[in-house]
Chains A and B, each alone.
Chain A
Amino acid sequence: MSRIGRALAHAVIRAYPRAWRERYETEIHELVDETDARLPDAVDLATGAIQRRLIGGAHMRFELGYRHPSAFAILALIIMAPTLAVALLSLVGHELGVGAVASVVDPLLASITAPRVIDLGLVVAPLVAFLLAALPLLDARFEQGDDGRMLALRVRALPVNLLVGAVAIILGASLIGHIITESVLQLGA
């Protein structure tokens, strides 16, 4: 039982924030071995890890995205590119009255979006793109302030991610607006 407890305790230490581990990891692994840690010790360590994560000032952020924000912005752009292309062509064809474009786009769009899953994918893509572009910008953490515990939220000002995120929001909002308008018009007809 103590072998399981010790193995668990060693595993739980890896759940502590990186900065904490850089400072204390070696000595606490040694302590776990010396004390022949048991299951309650693993639970005690897990409680400590949760406290460090939630109330000890540890950063809560999407680490992979935080380290590679541009890659996430490009991925977001790729994901919403088909929706963006369709929206732009429809805009040129219908709103700007370029008939030649409309006559090419409408049949093409009808055939592409015939399977519901592709139709749904085109609508959902801006939301996914927005999340991919915006997540690397967020860095939240709990801090002990004079007025108690505070949730401090910082947003990184990365132009590429902000631009892609804004395009995703505008695109998504336009699509939803378009779908609602179409539905209302169909109901009224």
Chain B
Amino acid sequence: MSGFGNNDPGMLVLVSLASMPRHGHAILLDVEAFADIRLGPGTLYGAIERLEGKGLIEPIEMVGRRRPYRLTEQGRSMLDGRLRGLEQTVRIGLQRVALGV
């Protein structure tokens, strides 16, 4: 689970694929829309390769020259755990900021 910060390209790709399978360009557009981060093609495919190697995402049948990817069950479970951890951190952090402690 280490190496997945909230701005980590791998984390962003996982979040993008959580709703539906997407190919490279669709992932870039989606990440840009929800995180306001423009991933470079080398960064994106570095992340895709790592996630695929860990069994967190998998390719599906090519459509023309595009290859969509989807989240595996392992990837969905890992993302769920990671997001819940972040949610707790964010919630506690916001409470402490509000209290000025």
- A residues sitting closer than 8 Å to B (CB atoms) are 9, 20, 23-24, 26-32, 34-35, 37, 40-41, 43-49, 51-52
- B residues sitting closer than 8 Å to A (CB atoms) are 23-25, 28, 40-46, 48-49, 62, 64-67
Given A29-B65, A31-B24, A52-B46, 19 other A-B contacts at CB below 8 A? A23-B49, A26-B62, A27-B23, A30-B25, A31-B28, A31-B45, A35-B25, A35-B28, A35-B41, A41-B41, A41-B42, A44-B40, A44-B41, A44-B42, A44-B43, A48-B41, A48-B43, A48-B45, A48-B46
Q: Nearest CB to that of A30 among chain B residues?
A: B65
CB distance from B33 to the nearest CB of A (A): 14
Hey, which chain B residues are within 8 Å of A37, CB to CB?
41
Hey, which chain B residues are within 8 Å of A44, CB to CB?
40-43
Contact A24 B42 (CB under 8 A): no
Q: Complex Cα distance A52/B46, Å?
A: 9
Hey, which chain A residues are within 8 Å of B41, CB to CB?
9, 28, 31-32, 35, 37, 41, 44-45, 48
- Pick the 3 closest A-B CB pairs, nearest first: A44-B40, A48-B42, A45-B42
Max chain B CB contacts within 10 Å: which of A24, A26, A31, A52? A31
With A27-B23, A34-B25 in contact, do A47 and B66 touch (Cβ < 8 Å)? no
With A35-B41, A48-B43 in contact, do A24 and B49 touch (Cβ < 8 Å)? yes
Max chain B CB contacts within 10 Å: which of A24, A26, A27, A29? A27
Contact A26 B65 (CB under 8 A): yes
